[in-house]
Amino acid sequence: MTTNVTVPNLEEPDTFYADLLAAHEGLSKEESDAFNARLILLMANRIGNLEELKSLLAAAHRN
């Protein structure tokens, strides 16, 4: 099983967060939830490794 990255690893995290919030502007709760689901699936596809994805699901569940 892979190890989760526990140190900051995102280039320009504040910029990404602002972009993420902007992407949700004007969306209803349902549209926002659907957007998040699509984004998660796209990111999961980019990661590609099932063991890594399972590890991330477990880490998110713990937190």
- Structural domain boundaries in the chain: 28-63
Q: Which two tokens stand for residue 41?
A: 């699936």
Residue 4: partners with Cβ closer than 8 Å, 6 or more residues away: 55, 56, 59
Q: For residue 53, count other CB atoms closer than 10 A to its CB.
A: 16
62 confidence band (pLDDT: 50, 70, 90): confident
Mind listing the pLDDT tens digit for each residue in 25-51? 999 999 999 999 999 999 999 999 999
CA–CA distance, 41 with 25 (Å, rounded to integer):
20
In the chain, what are the helix, strand and coil shares in percent, each to the nearest 5? 70, 0, 30
Residue 47: per-residue pLDDT:
95
